[in-house]
Amino acid sequence: MNKLLLNEPPLMVLPTLASVLGLNEAIFLQQLYYWLLKSSTYFENRKWVYRSIKEWEEEFPFWSNSTIKRVVNSLKKRKILLVKKIYPHIFYSIDEENISKLEVKMNAQIELLEVQNDPSNSQIDLAKGQIEPRKSQNDPTKGQFDPSPIYNENQRDYTENTQRLPVEYTLFMHEWNLFASKNSLSKISSLSDSRKRKLQMRLKNGNFKKLFDTALIEIKKSQYLLGAKGWKITFDWLIKNDENILKVVEGNYRDKKNYANNPLNNLPKAESYVVGDW
């Protein structure tokens, strides 16, 4: 017996992606990804697929023209879908960097929920409650022995928002490991106290998250950092101090190769295409 009700190619839907982006957006994005894998059109350091409105309507016969436009606009606003017009074609691609960031955030949220819903944590809290009864709101000693917002007196990296930090640390770990797995770099198995302290120091710079994301993009442009001469960049080296990540972001290790002879890079200048112009 055929597993499909009808003898035609099915469309795939990723449940997690649909729950975050919406069902229509998830269907569109997955189908575009399918065609990108088969595409041989390459420029601006990524693959592209060209489609007319009519071709999208044939691809999704159950959607109207206006629905397709709404889906495309929605994905563009999230900076996940890239659209370029190079006369006479309209090209589509996916910003995989933003997809990776979305995946990291989802994984971090899932881990946080798992920790909060862990029954063992509830048992620990219950045991503490039996030993240390909750103080009355009118208790004059309330707050006198509350733990300090810092970790300990020997640790010089302080923060007032300690509740946010473990999640933020987890985001950096997941983002690095996802990037490392795609670029043959060493992943990190855990966040040691030393790594947390270094991240705390880096996070004093309010722009560090943006620097970190930009650094991952720059690393892909450097064969040296990816191990061409034996040494490979590591998570620990990147967060070791303020200078290392700035050197990467400023392009000090970027390849100097000339790609002018590549015919794929000699396409007409791409113009931003506004979906509303359809």
CATH of the domain at 88: 1.10.10
Q: Does 156 score more than 90 pLDDT?
A: no
Please report the pLDDT score of residue 116 as a whole number.
57
- Do 179 and 207 reside in the same domain of the chain? yes
Please report the pLDDT score of residue 114 as a whole number.
59
- Categorize the per-residue pLDDT at 132 as very low, low, confident or very high, splitting at 50, 70 and 90: very low
Q: Which residue has the higher pLDDT, 124 or 13?
A: 13
Q: Give the highest mean pLDDT range of 87-91, 110-114, 213-217.
A: 213-217
Q: Which residue has the higher pLDDT, 277 or 226?
A: 226
The answer to whether position 139 is within a domain reads no
Please report the pLDDT score of residue 119 as a whole number.
56
Q: Does 17 score more than 90 pLDDT?
A: no
Please report the pLDDT score of residue 19 as a whole number.
80
Which tokens in the block code for residue 106?
A: 């989802």
Stretch 157-172: mean pLDDT: 51
Among 94, 127, 146, residue at a domain's last position: 94
Q: Are 206 and 195 in contact (CB under 8 A)?
A: no
Q: Does 141 score more than 50 pLDDT?
A: no
Percent of the chain at pLDDT exceeding 70: 68
The answer to whether position 249 is within a domain reads yes
Mean pLDDT of all residues belonging to the chain: 74
The answer to whether position 55 is within a domain reads yes
Stretch 1-11: mean pLDDT: 76
Burial label for 102, CB within 10 Å (0-12, 13-18, 19+), is middle
Q: Does 121 score more than 90 pLDDT?
A: no
- Do 106 and 220 reside in the same domain of the chain? yes
For 50, list phi and psi in degrees, rounded to 5.
-105, 135
- Categorize the per-residue pLDDT at 82 as very low, low, confident or very high, splitting at 50, 70 and 90: very high
- Do 101 and 210 reside in the same domain of the chain? yes
The answer to whether position 138 is within a domain reads no
- Do 212 and 233 reside in the same domain of the chain? yes
Q: Are 100 and 220 in contact (CB under 8 A)?
A: no
Which tokens in the block code for residue 196?
A: 């947390």
Q: Which residue has the higher pLDDT, 147 or 98?
A: 98
- Do 172 and 222 reside in the same domain of the chain? yes
Among 41, 63, 94, residue at a domain's last position: 94
- Categorize the per-residue pLDDT at 1 as very low, low, confident or very high, splitting at 50, 70 and 90: low
Neighbouring residues of 253: CB distance < 8 A, sequence distance ≥ 6: 218, 222, 224, 225, 247
Please report the pLDDT score of residue 7 as a whole number.
79
Among 94, 126, 142, residue at a domain's last position: 94
- Do 85 and 49 reside in the same domain of the chain? yes
- Do 82 and 184 reside in the same domain of the chain? no
The answer to whether position 116 is within a domain reads no
| Tally of domains within the chain | 2
- Categorize the per-residue pLDDT at 216 as very low, low, confident or very high, splitting at 50, 70 and 90: very high
Query: Which residues lie across from 41 on neighbouring strands?
Result: 48
Q: Are 96 and 82 in contact (CB under 8 A)?
A: no
Q: Give the predicted TM-score (pTM) of the model.
A: 0.43
Domain residues for 253? Answer: 96-111+162-257
Q: Does 145 score more than 60 pLDDT?
A: no
Amino acid at 169: Y
- Do 39 and 169 reside in the same domain of the chain? no
Q: Does 163 score more than 70 pLDDT?
A: no
Q: Does 11 score more than 60 pLDDT?
A: yes
Measured from the Cβ of residue 268, the count of other Cβ atoms closer than 10 Å reads 9
Please report the pLDDT score of residue 209 as a whole number.
86
- Do 83 and 218 reside in the same domain of the chain? no
- Do 76 and 202 reside in the same domain of the chain? no
**Residue among 173, 174, 165 at smallest CA distance from 236:** 173
Length of the chain measured in residues? 278
- Do 107 and 204 reside in the same domain of the chain? yes
Q: Does 93 score more than 90 pLDDT?
A: yes
The answer to whether position 8 is within a domain reads no
- Do 86 and 57 reside in the same domain of the chain? yes
The answer to whether position 130 is within a domain reads no
**Using CA atoms, how far apart are residues 239 and 212, in angstroms rounded to an integer?**
9
The answer to whether position 144 is within a domain reads no
Neighbouring residues of 44: CB distance < 8 A, sequence distance ≥ 6: 84, 270
**Using CA atoms, how far apart are residues 126 and 134, in angstroms rounded to an integer?**
11
| C-alpha distances in Å from residue 124, one per residue of 57, 67, 156, 186, 205 | 56, 51, 30, 35, 36
110-128 exposure pattern, b = at least 16 Cβ within 10 A, e = fewer: eeeeeeeeeeeeeeeeeee
Stretch 222-244: mean pLDDT: 93
